[in-house]
């Protein structure tokens, strides 16, 4: 474990009254640095690793930390950084044949559901060894202080004694309990597993240990249900807040009386959320927050509070971090609710802080006091036609490469096993192209961005127009059961938000009003909508009507239905085809007001009220008219976006 020197908590510093804005953050920072700690936070940058085409958010922990630090609830110097757990320690929970098998080629293919290179395998093993070390460290800290410790990772509950599965290589819960036992702790341990999926590995590892009770509420059993001390509850179907909280309140509180735990481990999985990319439950942010507070209260709001270890567990998609951040902020603030920003906002804030460290001269534009003549200037003076030398008239290739290094973008590509090579094509008057290949031979195209300045889409505004944006990992195949989206040849890199944030910074730097592009398919519009919206009210209204009609379908199926002509306009009976129209992300306040003002909203609502579409079983032929197909789904347009 690496730590900075910490002074003893200053006694007697009262928590300030709730305060808004910067004043509130100032007092929270002061209390965080010098007051008693309400929880220990454990995290390592080694936890981050990209795979499976973006299902996992590699920055989940970093986003939580950024939010907690931004709100003054955590100071980076107080973070505990774990070391990877030793192979000898891993033997306390896993068999020697299993551990030895991890060094064989393709060892993790079954665990992660896709083939992985040797380099990817090594990095994943290293990441999960470090997470396991984090859970052990956090357990030791919670026990020593009889307080709360949170590992911003871990919860690898599917790993068994002799195998890994379900993205879990090592069972960090079992490793943490075994470490406490070795240190002399003999008390009863309650594992509260509220990840969406069954905690089968943990239950199997403690199946014959009456001092460890495994409690799991999940969407389906993974087997190995027999154990001497276990509660296993399956909730089938689309479980909502009411269903889960009722089951939790019925099953969990009695255990604190009958089992009488001395230590609690809580897997606060976020995959029960309605927007989780792998989940099928429908919990809201309020429901998950209530769940977390209930478990916390049972463990801590008692005459003799119990040591509590909190683990991240599951959560898929780049919005999962917000549920964890909300809970940890509540713990660290002593019971106040803080609402995390959107993923787009926190990513952009991080990039803007980094951008302030880049000088204009580093990026390519000369400093205002630089009077030297360039070769280009001399060529113009001698009558040689000017050739574009800079991307968007500002950035040199070296400047772009420096920025991508500073933002960590190229490092993340290297983490995927690539050797990124940047190139620029500036010669086409219709747009300029930036490419990043994954190898010096330029055989693997990872990123292709074609842009130009645009003054025609929004009169009175100058936009950064995206002609084309490709982000792909050509080395990955699609996961079993996941079909490619229309037009998709390879899984994505999972870095779209970072790219959009960098494009916003370009607008900041060049004084552009916003970003615009035309989505070629319905799913691209859905993925972009939120920060972007359609520039014309009619296009925005059509989009909302489509979302309302297709809300019951997964995104890929919905997009394929649109492409196949399975949407019928009830007013005309004709098939509805995807109409390409520009979407805009406003950057300046003036353009934001223009696209979110009352006049724009009212016109969108008026038009949306006139549109009614239906989804039919087979493609609608032009000229068939109404009533020829039985509708699968028929919804009015008024529901607004609800399928994301």
DSSP string, 386-422: P---SBTTTB-HHHHHHHHHHTTHHHHHHHTT---EE
Domain-embedded: residue 381: no
pTM, two decimal places:
0.69
Final residue of a structural domain among 517, 543, 559: 517
Give the chain's domain count: 3
Say if 217 falls within a structural domain: yes
Same domain for 259 and 192, yes or no, is yes
Same domain, 64 and 160: yes
User: Between these two residues, 428 and 612, which has the higher pLDDT value?
Assistant: 612
Same domain, 482 and 543: no
Tens-digit pLDDT profile for residues 486-524:
777 888 888 888 888 899 999 998 999 999 999 999 998
Spatial separation of the C-alpha atoms in residues 549 and 542, rounded to whole Å: 11
Give Cα 120 to chain centroid, integer Å.
20
The pLDDT value recorded for residue 374 is 43
Report the pLDDT value the prediction gives residue 175, as an integer from 0 to 100: 97
Residue carrying the six token digits 């696209």: 595
Residue 69 has pLDDT above 70, yes or no: yes
* Structure token pair of residue 504: 């916003």
Please report which residue ranges of 71-117 form alpha helices under DSSP H: 87-90, 96-101, 109-112
pLDDT tens, residue by residue, 203-223:
999 999 999 999 999 998 877
- Tens digits of residue pLDDT in 2-11: 443 322 233 3
Task: Dump the DSSP string for 582-607.
Answer: -EEEE-SHHHHHHHHSHHHHHHHHHH
Show which of 517, 552, 578 is a domain's final residue. 517
- The verdict on 483 and 608 lying in the same domain is no
pLDDT of 359 over the 80 cut: no
Domain assignment present for 377: no
* Percentage above 90 pLDDT, the chain: 50
The pLDDT of residue 587 is 93
Could you tell me if 63 and 186 lie in one domain? Answer: yes
Do 541 and 455 share a structural domain? no
Q: What are 374-378's contacts with CB under 8 Å, separation 24+? A: none
Average pLDDT over residues 298-302: 94
Tell me the C-alpha distance between 612 and 24, whole Å.
Answer: 48
Q: Are residues 182 and 317 in the same domain?
A: yes
Q: Clarify whether residues 443 and 492 are in a common domain.
A: yes
* Whether residues 266 and 251 fall in one domain: yes
pLDDT-derived band of residue 331, with 50, 70 and 90 as boundaries? very high
Choice between 173 and 628, residue whose per-residue pLDDT is larger: 173
Mean pLDDT, all residues of the chain: 84
Same domain assignment for residues 113 and 234: yes
Residue 145 predicted with pLDDT over 80: yes
Q: Helix 321-332 to helix 285-300 angle, to the nearest 10 degrees?
A: 40
Q: Which two tokens stand for residue 141?
A: 């800290």
Asked if residue 14 is part of any domain, the answer here is: no
- Specify if 24 maps to a domain: no
Q: What is the pLDDT of residues 524-561, one digit of tens each?
A: 899 888 888 999 999 999 999 999 999 888 888 899 99
| Beta-sheet pairing, 40-42 with 421-425 | unpaired
Instruction: Classify residue 22 by burial, with Cβ atoms within 10 Å: 0-12, 13-18, 19+.
Output: exposed
Quick check: is 205 in a domain? yes
Please check the confidence at residue 456 and state whether its pLDDT lies above 80. yes
Distance CA 238, CA 122 (A): 37
Q: Are residues 62 and 48 in the same domain?
A: yes
Domain that holds residue 479: 344-367+389-517
- Kindly state whether residues 267 and 312 are assigned to the same domain: yes
Query: What's phi and psi for 535, nearest 5 deg?
Result: -75, -25
Tell me what pLDDT residue 250 has.
Answer: 95
Cβ distance 358 to 389 under 8 Å? Answer: no
Residues 416-432, mean pLDDT to the nearest whole number:
86
Residue 116: which of 489, 476, 495, 481 has the closest Cα? 476
How much of the chain is helix, strand and coil, in % rounded to 5?
40, 15, 45
């Amino acid at each position: 474990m690496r730590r900075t020197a910490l002074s003893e908590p200053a006694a007697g510093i009262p928590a300030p009254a709730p305060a808004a804005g910067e004043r509130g953050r100032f007092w929270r920072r002061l209390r965080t640095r010098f007051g008693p700690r309400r929880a220990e936070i454990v995290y390592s940058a080694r936890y981050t690793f990209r795979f499976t085409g973006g299902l996992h958010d590699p920055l989940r922990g970093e986003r939580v930390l950024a939010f907690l630090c931004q709100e003054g609830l955590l100071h980076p110097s107080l973070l505990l950084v774990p070391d990877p757990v030793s192979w000898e320690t891993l033997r306390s929970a896993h068999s020697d044949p299993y551990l030895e098998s991890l060094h064989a080629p393709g060892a993790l293919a079954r665990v992660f559901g896709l083939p992985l290179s040797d380099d990817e395998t090594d990095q994943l093993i290293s990441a999960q060894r470090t997470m396991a070390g984090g859970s052990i460290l956090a357990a030791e800290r919670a026990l020593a202080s009889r307080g709360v410790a949170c590992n911003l990772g871990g919860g690898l509950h599917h790993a068994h004694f002799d195998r890994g599965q379900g993205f879990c290589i090592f069972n960090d819960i079992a490793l943490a309990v075994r470490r406490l036992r070795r240190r002399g702790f003999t008390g009863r341990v309650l594992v509260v597993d509220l990840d969406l999926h069954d905690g089968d590995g943990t239950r199997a590892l403690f199946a014959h240990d009456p001092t460890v009770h495994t409690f799991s509420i999940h969407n389906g059993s993974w087997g190995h249900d027999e154990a001497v001390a276990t509660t296993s509850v399956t909730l089938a179907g689309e479980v909502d807040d009411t269903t889960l909280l009722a089951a939790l309140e019925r099953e969990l509180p009695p255990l604190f009386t009958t089992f009488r735990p001395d230590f609690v481990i809580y897997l606060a999985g976020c995959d029960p959320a309605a927007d989780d990319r792998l989940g099928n439950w429908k919990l809201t942010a309020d429901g998950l927050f209530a769940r977390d507070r209930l478990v916390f209260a049972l463990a801590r709001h008692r005459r003799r509070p119990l040591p509590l270890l909190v683990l991240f567990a599951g959560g898929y998609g780049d919005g999962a971090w917000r549920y964890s951040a909300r809970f940890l902020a509540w713990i660290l603030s002593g019971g106040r609710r803080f609402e995390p920003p959107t993923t787009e906002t926190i990513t952009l804030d991080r990039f803007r802080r980094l951008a302030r460290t880049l000088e204009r001269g580093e990026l390519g534009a000369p400093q205002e006091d630089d009077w030297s003549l360039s070769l280009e200037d001399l060529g113009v003076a001698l009558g040689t036609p000017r050739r574009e030398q800079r991307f968007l008239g500002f950035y040199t290739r070296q400047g772009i490469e420096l920025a991508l290094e500073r933002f960590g973008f190229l490092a993340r590509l290297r983490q995927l096993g690539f050797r990124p090579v940047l190139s620029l094509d500036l010669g086409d008057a219709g747009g300029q192209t930036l490419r990043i290949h994954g190898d010096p031979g330029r055989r693997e195209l990872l990123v292709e961005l074609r842009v130009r300045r645009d003054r025609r889409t929004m009169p009175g505004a100058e936009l950064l127009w995206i002609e084309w944006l490709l982000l792909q990992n050509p080395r990955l195949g699609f996961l079993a059961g996941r079909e490619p989206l229309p037009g998709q040849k390879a899984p994505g890199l999972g870095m779209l938000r970072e790219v959009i944030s960098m494009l916003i910074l370009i607008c900041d730097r060049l004084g552009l009003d916003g970003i615009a592009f035309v989505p070629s398919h319905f799913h691209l519009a859905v993925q972009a909508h939120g920060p972007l919206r359609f520039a014309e009210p009619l296009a925005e209204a059509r989009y909302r009507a489509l979302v309302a009609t297709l809300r019951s379908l997964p995104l890929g199926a919905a997009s394929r239905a649109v492409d196949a002509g399975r949407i019928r306009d009830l007013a005309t009976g004709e098939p509805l085809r995807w109409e390409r129209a520009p979407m805009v992300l406003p950057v300046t306040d003036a353009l934001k007001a223009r696209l979110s003002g009352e006049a724009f909203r009212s016109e969108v609502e008026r038009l949306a009220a006139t549109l009614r579409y239906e989804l039919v079983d087979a493609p609608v032929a032009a000229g068939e008219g109404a009533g020829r197909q039985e509708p699968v789904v028929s919804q009015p347009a008024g529901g607004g976006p609800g399928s994301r």
